[in-house]
Structure 1
């Protein structure tokens, strides 16, 4: 038997098995978890069944499998996949809890960046990403070009325009009027006085 014939035969066996067990497994999972998780776990279960098709008891080479022979083993696989999903959810929740507890609290009087975020929200997605990569990730135009698929020249132009827009937006603030006091400077200092 050739490799292609073996693959086709394996695929037919799996299709016959899936036809018999998919619906009962779905019902089994829906009774044990919410619908979204049931869908994901069913997919994972079918993947395990595909990989372990030769291990499924009661699955002959030809003909439809008897549900009484194959379902108990398949339920066991689904149960294991569901347990894995629950453990993964628990790990994610514990990590989230730990991150929330260790997140540094903003000190009193810390800068409010609401205006900056509002100004960034007015940009298109690509321009916003270019600014973030430049400011937050400290990448240069050539590196940003590699990330975004733009040319380095296009990144430089977008960055120049974005900085100009941000400067204007932050200088005028939400009121639309020029804000003459610069952040962190007294009025004498802002004008260059002694």
Structure 2
């Protein structure tokens, strides 16, 4: 009898996991594709799914007998994917350092670890100049369309801290792009804004 109950619980858990995967697989794949090289995406996604399976009971707003709400589960799942990506980057860094040591060949500098470029050279250049945390908050807001509360959950911080960091990151990015545009137009920053130099 206990065996049958256990088997039933196992089937329920599998069904719940399949429902979760059906909701989060595509957004998580998109999230990872924008942050790492194409060859690593599937591996990191698979690792993310393993963690989600192991921690299924920890996923917020996920319960048997009710539909999976993307808004309820995605921020937490982004946080898991972010952690798996960080682990993969650390492992790759260790592997690369070993290869470098063995071959004594320096690795070429990348724009940022595993970055997917936006296609806009000026924007990519400005994003590279942001700190990794500022860049991640900004990209979660812009690319994944998460609200500060959801970003906070994904990054393991508070919504207030995210709002402040997001506001500052947007200002920094705007200032860099404005400065770049002014320089390209042959104008120094601060010139041509109603100031008269007589």
* TM-score normalised over the length of structure 1: 0.51
Structure 2: gaps (5+ residues): 105-198
Match of 1:60 in 2: 63
Q: Which runs of 4+ in 1 moved over 3 A?
A: none
Residue aligned with 1:32, SS? coil
1:27 is matched with which residue?
Answer: 30
Residue-by-residue CA offset, 1:139-172 (whole Å, 9 max, x unaligned): xxxxxxxxxxxxxxxxxxxxxxxxxxxxxxxxxx
Which one has a bigger Cα radius of gyration? Answer: 1
**Larger RCO (CA within 8 A; separation ≥ 6):** 2
RMSD (Å), alpha carbons: 1.0
Measured after TM superposition, the shift of residue 14 of structure 1 is 0.1
Tell me the equivalent position of 1:79: 82
The one of 49, 53, 58 equivalent to 2:52 is 49
Tell me the equivalent position of 2:42.
39
Task: Name the structure 2 match of 1:119.
Answer: none
* Alignment match, 1:96: 99
For residues 51 and 25 of structure 2, what CA distance do their matches in structure 1 show?
Answer: 13
Asked if the contact 1:26/1:38 (under 8 Å) is kept, the reply is yes
1:13 counterpart = 2:16: yes
Q: Distance in 1 between matches of 2:92 and 2:63?
A: 37
SS at match of 2:60: coil
**What do residues 2-49 of structure 1 show as CA deviations (whole Å, max 9, x unaligned)?**
100010000010000000000000000001111111111000000100
Structure 1: give runs of 5+ residues left out of the alignment.
Answer: 102-194
Is 1:17–1:64's contact at 8 Å kept on the other side of the alignment? no
Instruction: Give how far 1:98 is off.
Output: 1.3
Distance 2:34 2:100 in 1: 28
Aligned to 1:143: none
Separation (CA, whole Å) in 2 of partners of 1:100 and 1:23: 39
Partner secondary structure for residue 64 of structure 2 = coil
1:4 equivalenced with 2:7 (yes/no): yes
Aligned length: 101
- The TM-score with structure 2 as length reference comes to 0.50
